[in-house]
Structure 1
Amino acid sequence: MDWLTFFASIIGSLVWPIVTVILLLVFKDELTKVVPFIKKLKAGPVEAEFDREVKQLKELVASDYKIEDASPAAVASKEFLFQLARLHPRSAILESWVRLEAAARAALPQDTSKASKAGYVPAANLSQALVSAGKIDQSQVTLYHELRRLRNDVAHLVGPEPTQESVHSYIELAASLQRRLEMPHT
């Protein structure tokens, strides 16, 4: 390799970083105005944000879920989860899901849970078993699966903590479905 080829390859590899720095300097004022509004920046495939998805889910099911009178135990349970959310937002989401899944398992008739080899119905299949048992309808199946997916995102993805508002919305949605499952007659 001669010195001209070497020099050309170095210039070729430095062009994009130099152009990037120049653009950052030129648009510095505009970027400083936009940066506070950026919650997450990731190159590559589009990554959904927990906060946005919880808000969309809440809007989607808002008409289906009216605020109902909750028992003192349910109110105390939600208050505990709200306090936990202030300290550990992810833990509050995980705990909300654990409580919802436990209510779903408890709502299943005993013969349904025996249908599985070991008497265990995977969380992904619980919703269909609940529909078969007449405990939830199709819109609640959607809510169940979305809450489960969001819980998995929070548990497995590394990223910024969800906002308090989105955690509270998640807790509210999970608690409303949990109350529905705990009702004696649907």
Structure 2
Amino acid sequence: MDHLVEIIKALAWPVAVIWMSFIFRAEVRALLGRVSSFKYKGVEASFGKSLEKAESDAKSIESPAQSQIEESENSQVEQLLRISEVSPRAAVVEAWTLIETAAMKHGLVAGATIQRTNPRMILSHLEASGKFSPESIHLINELRQIRNKASHLPDFAVTQSDAERYLELAVKGAAVISATKS
């Protein structure tokens, strides 16, 4: 009888944890989706995973000529690099404006009084135009998702190097939009 009690004691917590994880699986999934970095012993996953996915899309996209990037965009990129030193998360959010600006310059706006755009509208327009490769659309969608996480998840953390990598990808995405005639 004592052995049975010891077995029950040993299994009580693991069974309770598994049972609670099963009951709250949707909440646990949502919580894990919000984690920007994870480190356990020798294993580490982070914001960089999303960036790696976007970078692999960017590799297959033909880069527009450097001359396509206007001087005002170069100063904005320099400013974003300075912001990344202070607040990498803010730099990610602000880097998205490069894509929005490129889209607005090519006629993608809504609203008569105040011109505006939104991330989903940019993607819809790019897809509908038929002028962009699936890789370009996928890259901009990845950037949108990363930006959304940085904007809306309070516990989302970004390193300076990840913010700089995001900025490079945003510059490339904006250049692709700018290089395509509307």
Match of 2:172 among 157, 176, 186: 176
Structure 1 residue runs of 5 or longer lacking an equivalent are 1-7, 18-38, 43-47
For residues 172 and 119 of structure 1, the distance between their equivalents in structure 2, rounded to whole angstroms, comes to: 26
Q: How many residues align structurally?
A: 147
Q: Deviations over 1:101-129 (max 9, x none)?
A: 2322332367xx47xxx986642132222
Q: Flag structure 2 segments of 5+ consecutive residues without an equivalent.
A: 15-36
Instruction: Give the secondary structure class of the aligned counterpart of 2:60.
Output: coil
Larger Rg: 1
Q: What is the CA-CA distance between 1:172 and the residue it aligns to?
A: 0.8
Write out aligned runs for 1:16-165 (5 A): 16=13, 39-40=37-38, 49-66=46-63, 68-69=65-66, 70-108=69-107, 113=110, 122-159=118-155, 161-165=157-161
Alignment root-mean-square deviation, CA: 3.4
- Distance in 2 of aligned mates of 1:162 and 1:12: 42
Distance in 1, matches of 2:73 and 2:105, equals 16
Normalising by the residue count of structure 2, what TM-score does the alignment of the two structures yield?
0.64
Distance of 1:152 and 1:168 partners within structure 2: 17
Secondary structure of the structure 2 residue equivalent to 1:40: strand
Paired residues of 2:150 and 2:156 also in contact (CA < 8 A): no
Cα distance in 2 for partners of 1:64, 1:176 equals 9
* TM-score with structure 1 setting the length: 0.62
C-alpha distance after superposition, 1:132-165 (max 9, x if no partner):
3355332211111111111111112233631222
- Paired amino acid for 2:170: A
Percent of residue pairs identical: 23
2:165 is the counterpart of 1:166: no
Amino acid at match of 2:145: R
Cα deviation code 1:17-44 (max 9, x no counterpart) = 9xxxxxxxxxxxxxxxxxxxxx5259xx
